[in-house]
Each structure stands twice: as C-alpha cells, then as structure tokens.
Structure 1
C-alpha cells in the first residue's frame, strides 16, 4: 500500500542549486502548517507540523533530486532517533508537543534541497469480538468483555472504547489492554482489550470501539459495529400475568399464564395453584386448556435465590366465568283452555345475565317471567327461554317450554265456505279444521258420492271430503273429543244450465223484436195517437195470448206486458201503440223484473 505523505519542499522550488547567501524556502501542504520558511545556506531551517491528535509513531523521509528516498528521523513512543549514515544524522533534531512536531536542520547545505515527506496510511475497518457467556455483576474484578482490532495503518492508529456514546477511561471499573504489532510492510496492527466490572444496567448498554488515525489535512475516525454484552444478575422480583386471552375468561377457553423473574439468566420457576404444583415449561409458561370454574383462583410463581438463600415469589388471580343451564318453574307443560299461565326462567352465572322469551322466532317477553292470560289454542306451541351474558356473548344457554292446552274441540273459521253455489254435475271440496286436546275426531254427515281424506297435525286435525253435486244439498262435519264437540255446516246450491240458456235466448229475441218495431216507427208505418191506432187481429185466440200495450205520458215510460187468460174470443186483438221510442236497455230492465214470463207466437197483419 503506497503511503499518502505530507510533503515539504526545501529549496527555491525548482530544485536548482542556490547561490551563496540565497534564501531557502520550506513549503508544506499540511493543514495548520507554516506555509513558507526562509533560511540561508549555513543557517538553521525548521519545518513545523501541527496535529489535532499527535500520532504515536512519526517518521520523516527526504527525497533528493535524483529520486532517491531515505528515512532521516523516527519518533516512536516518545523516543526520537535520527537515522545513522545519512547526511542529516548529525545536523537534524525533532521536538514535539501535544499538538505539533518540529523538524530542525542545522547548517543548511546546498545538497539539502529536496522534498521532505511524512507518510500516512488509513487502517482497515475495525473488527470486534465479544464474549458469549454472561458476566456476573457480583465479580469483584473487571472481566474481559470484548476485543477490537484494526490492521495495516500508518502512523500507528489509536483505539478508544465507548459505552452509550461515552468514552471509557481507565479506572477501578475499566481496564484497557493495548497491543501494537509492526508488520513487515512497515504498517501497524493495533489491538485493544476491554475489561469491565459490569453492573445490571449494562444489560441494556451499547458498546463499540473507535479507531482514530492521521491523514494529510485531517484526523479521521472509524467506528466499529455496536454490540451488547450478556450480563448475569440475581433475581429480585417475579412477575406473573395472564398472557392469553386478553379479556374475560369463560369455561372452555385456553388460558396462558406467564411467570418471569427480573434476573439473568432466568431462574428455575415453579407455579402452584391451591397449594398444588402445576406443570409449566422452562420459560415459565403455564398453558391451561378447556378451563372450567375449578381453575379459578390464585396462581403463585416461586424462585429460590441460591446465592442469597431467599425464596422470591409473585402471583396473579384467574377468574373463569360460567353460565349454568336454564331452570323453569313450574315444570308442568299442560294447562286448561282459558287458564292463566305464569312461567319463570332462570340460570345462575358469575356475571349479570339477560333473559328473553321467543315463540316461532318472535320475541314475546324480555324478562324472566312469561305470563299468558286466558290462554287459547293459538297460544299453544313451543316457547324458548334464552339466557345470555352481555359481557361475554359467547356464554349463552336456552331451554324450550312446550305449552300444551287441553279443552273441547274448536272449529277454525266456522263461517268460511258455509254457502256454496256450483253447477249440477261438478265436484266440490269441503274442509273442516278443528283444534283441541286431546286431538278431536272429525265425522261427516253428507248425502251423495264422496271421497274423504284427513291430515292430523301437531295441534289440529284437518279433514276434507269431495262431493259430486246433483242437486241442492246440506253437509256438516262434527269434531269431538272427551271434553266436548263442535260442528260446522255447508249449504250447496245446484245451478241448472238449461234454464239459464232459455232465459238468455228470450232476452235476445225480445231485443230483436223491439228493434224491428222501432225501425217501423221511424219509417212512418206506425202512428201514435187516439185516432191513429192500428189493430192487429188474430184469426184465433188462445188462452195464453198476450196483449201488449205500450204507453207513455209526460213523466214516465211504461211497458206493460199482460197475459190474457179466459174464454175464447174470436176477435181478440193485440194493440201496439207507440208514443215514444223505447230503447233496448229499457226492455231488458222490464224483462228482469220478477214476473212470470209466457211465450207465444204473434201473427202481425196489415
């Protein structure tokens, strides 16, 4: 490795021989160095170098005009030695202070012209080795904790130890052992051992070494990687806490309890519960799986300090919360129709609970008491009592209460489909639903062909029959049990399709007849008035002949249909007198009146 020198020139700057009496200047490129020194031949020349930190080893070299380089002076460990056999051996001296080195050349000659060099080589990055076994705080003498080494530097580097960024100085607590090795290359390897009487606080301390060395124009520093040391100290306090879960503990959970002392290394720990030792691992971790209320209580962790002969302990409390099964009072589930029912639900717990009642998924009560007044069959069914712990919603229990109501049969919708109309020849379905306890038996009273089927549900009986209708009829169903009976009737009216068709045809014929007469009136072939009446004479009269007289006055229109019954008259007449036109709608209204209708054939003459 080539040194990086601080160079001083002695001469006129061009290395030409000076004339007698000519001034000789000495120039150095070092920081804080005299820029120029003027001397004459035969006089004394001084070259001063100033340092921030004085190097441990210093050497001066002189390079002549021909390029020959030789060492002329060496300073090491406060020893100053001039190299023997040189032209400067009897004429130079070096003195130094804390911050400077002064080279003095007496009786300057012409041949002294040349370059003077002070070499400097930066060392390698420092390497530290630390102990792996803990150092006990009770040791009376400093113990070796680390070694710092830097290689191949020039001049000799300096090593300083630091703890938490504070330099360590030699004392009763600190001992530093240096080692300097001069390599064959002329470079230095420096080692430093740090011995320390540790304290408990050193377990959290950060240590490193700093290498300082000289370079031209500056003093440089290199810091090693920081490190910490293992420190052993006795246990003075034990902490015990529930590590998992973070919140409340309920039955069925897995619980982890941690025990730890403040000593290093960790002491041997034992954990007891109710004066019985429980198993834990080497790190003081106790795992309890599927805990129940018997795991509640105080857990004590103990450690024996063998040096002091004292037992140290710590403890923590564990509470496992629980919720017991629900209890109903009374337990009887069967009641009489119309009775008042009062049921109480409860469940003991280590925490406060809330109680709700449900039926068919709907909330029916928010207290432990379920009260049902004047119960009906609709109130029968399954009621659910649900108990929950608000602080631990996972703690929940429930029980069912099947309410059974005894009583006589009751028909469901007794008036539904009581009266039915259907065509002759069709079939109808009749259904009866009855509830009661015991479940009733349904029987039918009906005439005609029928098919029966029955469905029995949990709370009611549904029975249906299929009947073919041939005429008007009445059907009934009866529901009975050992507590009473109930019945429901059906009235079925049969409709005749032929009669309805005849009535519709008659209405259509009368509508056509009215249209024809109105057409004749508009053509002027029919006149109205007392003197303008026309007689239509039938050749023969019959018992069921009809005389139709249509009249009108100023306030109303009248259509009178009159059937004539009696003796035969040869000259019976049908008189048609039209005072005002009559509409088809008015004819329909007249025909819809509840009067007997007779039909006949009319022969209309001129």
Structure 2
C-alpha cells in the first residue's frame, strides 16, 4: 500500500512539474558554518517561491550529507507539511535536532566531531511550484597545543661549511593541520640552500587531530653565539587565523679566537720589586682556549701558567719586559696574540755621605747628602729626634753647636708609589771645649747664716766634660747629685753658709776648661722664738696677760693698803721713788700690754688665716 501511495505521489509530482516549469524556488543558506571541536553547530536553510500567485500546498525539505568527492549522498533529515524526521542510522541521529516552519529548516548538531567536517545539501521541492538545492560546508576547528622547542644540547662549530641541526619544534593535536615558521632574533627564516633547511613531519593521530614536527638546520657563524631561535605555529579558528610563539633557545657555537687581550690583573697600579704579579689572557673564541705565555726577549721559552693566568712571584727589575700570550688552538691563527709591557719599579738603598759617623768642631759647617737610585722620581726628607729638619737630597748644618749632635735620618720615597721607600742615617758628633749653661760667669747670692744652699752647674761638650768643685769659706759642703748624657753633665752641691763663701764649678775636657763662680754673702741670723702653734701661742699669751693683770691688781691693792696704814711714807722723795717704781712698773706693764697686744694681734691674724706682717 505504501509503495502505491509513493508511486502516485511521484506521478503527481511529475505532472505538476510539467505544467509549472516556469516556477522556481530561491534558497538562502550560509556557504560555511565554522565551529570548534565539541561545540554545537547550526545548519539553516530558508526558502521562498517566486513567480506564483500562491504558496504550494506541499513543500518537501530534505538534508543530505555529501561524501568526499560529491559522488554519494546520504540523507539525514526529511520534512514536509505534516512530518519532520531525523533519519536513523547516520552519524547524526543521536546528536541532531530539527526545527522547521513554512519557510525554513534548522538543524542543531550537538558535540561536533572531526568527522562532521562535511558538506550539507539542503533540497526543497515545492512540486509544481518548483524545487532547488544548496550546499553548506561545516568546518570543524581544534586549536593545537602550544609549540615545544628544543635546542640541540651539543655545541656547533662555526667552521662547519654545511647547515647543522639547531633546534626542533613540535606542535600537537590541531585541526586542520597547523603550520610552523622559524625565527632568528624574531626575523623569519626561509629555506635557503646551503644555509637554511627546514624539515617537516606531519602525523595524523588516531583522534583525527594533526601533530607537526619541524627541524631547523642552520649554518651557524660566530655572530650566532648570542642569537635566539624560536618557532611559531599558525592555525585556523572560526573566522580567523591565530599564532602562538614558542620560547627562544640559544645554541652553543664553537669558534676560534680572532682577537686576544693580555692585561695585568694584580696588583692595581704600579708594580714594585717584591710584588706578586698576575697577568691574565683572554680571547674571543668559544670555548675559551688555554694559552701559552712567553716573553718577547725569549720567545722560545714557555712560561708556566694556569690556563689563562700567569703568576710572577716576588718580581724584580729583571722581570720587566714585553709579555705575550697565544691561544693553544689547532686552528688558531699564528698572528693572533695579546701582549703588554710590564715595568717593575725599584728603589735602591739610600747612600748617605758622610757615612755612619762624622766629627766636627763647634762652629763649623757641614753638608750631608742622601741619594737612592730609582726608576721613578723620588723625594727626600731629613729627620732628627722624630722632627723634620730638612728636605731634598742635601742637608746643610751651619755653625754647629752641641745641640747639632745626634742621629740624622734621611728618608727617600717615591710619591707616585708610597710603598716604595728607603732610609739612611748619619751620626753627627760636635767636638769642643766645655760650655757651661747660663750667660753669667759669676753668680752673686745672699743667704742667712746656717742655711743650706744647693748650687747647680751644667756643662756641655765633647768629649763629655767632667765637673769639679772648689769651695772656700765653708768646710761643710758635698755633691748631692750628678748625671750625664751624651754631651751634657749636670752636678749639684749642697753648701752650709757659715760665712761668706766662694764656690767654683770647673768644667773641663781635653779641649778646654770653663769656670763658673758662685759668691755667697752670709747674713747674720736674728734670734728667733721657738716655733709654736698659733692657736697654742695665743692661748699662752692670753694666760700670761691675765696672770700679769692679776699680779698688778694684787700689787696695787697691797700698796694702797700700806699707804692707808701709813706704813709707806708720803714724803716727796718717797713719793718720787714710789712714782718712779710705779712708773717703771707701769712702763713695764704698758710695754707688756703693748707687746701682748702686738703679739696677740699677730697671732689672732694668723689664726684667722691672714699672713703676719
């Protein structure tokens, strides 16, 4: 029955086509639909009928999937006015939904797969109103993983004349097939025979995704020692092309040295005898080669060294000269070398004239010189007793005195190299007769009798003089101190003054004698009271005054009592006598009072801290 109905339908369809061949259908579809793998895709087909007065009663819409090459189709959808159906037994059956109305049909495909990258054909049949079909390409995209670059671990020789493998780059799981481009310092590299080769391997994974491996072969030069190589992957995405760049790698390039430099690494500054000197050699080759060191004066002798370092221990002036270093490379050029001039500075011991010790007479002049042979300009300073006494190579001593005697040190140093210095000494000895300190040849003194007087005498000279004393006028004297230095002697005598004294200090040596006289005039000594304490003396005086007053009071009372009793006559002579006695006593009393007051005043002042007058 179904077959009969389908045959009748087709017969009717043919009849209508013959009657209305002038009618046509216009379809509106997108040429392509682009989606990411796993997303949902929408295939839409819209239709309109032209040149008819009314819509056909029956419109049949079918969707087909066209096989590769377009030779075979498979329907995946059918729909008409009464029926909408997704065909069974296709790859889309379980993942596709259909929505249709009078003018459009829309297919929604869930979880798009790589196998969905096919052509969909939309076919609309309006029977007598006409029919038409149009195609939509479903494009599926899968972005690949980030590119992974790996440089070769071994070094590449710049002397190789053919390209060498530099790095490899791999990108995985992309769709469609991604492309790889190589860069050197961010500049693209293109295949160039003899210089750049790019080898590409494309693999289709079981998942249907593509993985691409690319190998860069490159002819390196010395200039590539710092070059950075990278790869970039480009791939399609819906409505665009994206790129992802890898990290950059550097390759180790081996190349011979074309330039060598030699320099003094230590010590800093000028070199002096005794220094340890380090000379370092460096070339521009990679890897840094070992070097051989020679001296231009003897090029056939290789100096012992440690790689690129030459150590000269405790150098002398004989080590001065031109030093050279050359790389020890099989392919190094013979004229590739480094060289430098090494100058070892020196300062010979100072030579002083006069040498060691020099004798001179007091009042004479002397010229001393100090010189030291040096490779640099020197300066000279003279010292005596740690005090600077001159500058320059010559020291002039005028009108020598005994103070001129002593050790003179000349210090020679190099201003531009202070650690280079030397010194010499000369001992100056000034000879002459004794010279007593002090301008006065005779000293006048006055001292109280009984006093002890210390007399001091100091004399200088060379040879060291001796001092003797002669004292007249006193038998009691002795030398209490005596000391001597290199050219000075000092003596002290203690003399007891018993009368006028004359003391002579005699300083003498083999070159002469000098005398100094001390004249002492003795002064008689006044009687003196026993020393007492001011406080105790004042108390005794006060007691004496009180006792005197009591005695006077008692005596006055007795005299008055005797007079009243008539026991003492009142005649003139008697009166005068008594008066004289009284006067005498009064005078004594007055004198005592006066003395008492004076002494009391003195002692009271002393007690109060004032100095007695």
Q: Summarize deviations over 1:202-224 as a string: whole Å, max 9, x none.
A: 11322222333445565444333
> Take 2:244 and 2:524, find their aligned partners in 1: how far apart are those partners?
122
For the Cα contact (< 8 Å) 1:326–1:398, is it kept in 2?
yes
> Take 2:159 and 2:269, find their aligned partners in 1: how far apart are those partners?
41
**2:183 aligned partner:** 162
Is the counterpart of residue 368 in structure 1 residue 393 in structure 2? yes
Distance 1:236 1:498, change over 3 A: same
Distance 1:338 1:148, change over 3 A: same
**2:323 aligned partner:** 299
For the Cα contact (< 8 Å) 1:358–1:365, is it kept in 2?
yes
Q: Which runs of 5+ in 2 are unaligned?
A: 1-23, 36-42, 49-60, 65-90, 98-107, 124-131, 530-575, 578-613
**1:511 aligned partner:** none
Correspondence for 2:153 among 132, 152, 155: 132
| SS at structure 1 position matched to 2:310 | strand
> Take 1:352 and 1:441, find their aligned partners in 2: how far apart are those partners?
49
Correspondence for 2:510 among 482, 505, 508: 482
Cα distance, 1:259 vs. partner?
1.9
**1:560 aligned partner:** none
Cα distance, 1:297 vs. partner?
0.8
> Take 2:148 and 2:452, find their aligned partners in 1: how far apart are those partners?
110
Cα distance, 1:368 vs. partner?
1.0
Correspondence for 1:180 among 194, 202, 213: 202
**1:320 aligned partner:** 344
Distance 1:404 1:25, change over 3 A: same
Is the counterpart of residue 279 in structure 1 residue 286 in structure 2? no
**2:170 aligned partner:** 149
Runs of 4+ in 1 over 6 A off after TM superposition: 20-23, 27-30, 41-45, 60-63, 72-75, 89-92
Is the counterpart of residue 270 in structure 1 residue 292 in structure 2? yes
**1:388 aligned partner:** 413
**1:430 aligned partner:** 455
Correspondence for 2:47 among 40, 50, 58: 40
| SS at structure 1 position matched to 2:133 | coil
For the Cα contact (< 8 Å) 1:271–1:279, is it kept in 2?
yes
| SS at structure 2 position matched to 1:498 | coil
> Take 1:472 and 1:74, find their aligned partners in 2: how far apart are those partners?
152
Distance 1:40 1:438, change over 3 A: same
Q: Which runs of 5+ in 1 are unaligned?
A: 1-19, 31-35, 46-59, 76-81, 83-87, 93-105, 502-537, 540-606
Distance 1:330 1:488, change over 3 A: same
Distance 1:175 1:479, change over 3 A: same
For the Cα contact (< 8 Å) 1:255–1:288, is it kept in 2?
yes
Q: Summarize deviations over 1:441-460 as a string: whole Å, max 9, x none.
A: 11122342334222121231
> Take 2:347 and 2:320, find their aligned partners in 1: how far apart are those partners?
14
> Take 2:314 and 2:380, find their aligned partners in 1: how far apart are those partners?
26
For the Cα contact (< 8 Å) 2:477–2:493, is it kept in 1?
no
**1:202 aligned partner:** 224
> Take 1:389 and 1:404, find their aligned partners in 2: how far apart are those partners?
30
Distance 1:152 1:415, change over 3 A: farther
Higher Cα Rg, which structure: 2
Distance 1:439 1:224, change over 3 A: farther
Number of residues paired by the alignment? 437
Does 262-271 or 348-357 show the bigger shift?
Answer: 262-271
Is the counterpart of residue 64 in structure 1 residue 96 in structure 2? yes
Alpha-carbon RMSD: 3.9
**2:434 aligned partner:** 409
> Take 2:234 and 2:489, find their aligned partners in 1: how far apart are those partners?
106
| SS at structure 2 position matched to 1:418 | strand
Distance 1:489 1:179, change over 3 A: farther
For the Cα contact (< 8 Å) 2:27–2:134, is it kept in 1?
no
For the Cα contact (< 8 Å) 2:113–2:140, is it kept in 1?
no
For the Cα contact (< 8 Å) 2:149–2:167, is it kept in 1?
yes
Distance 1:411 1:223, change over 3 A: farther
Cα distance, 1:495 vs. partner?
4.8
Distance 1:429 1:197, change over 3 A: same
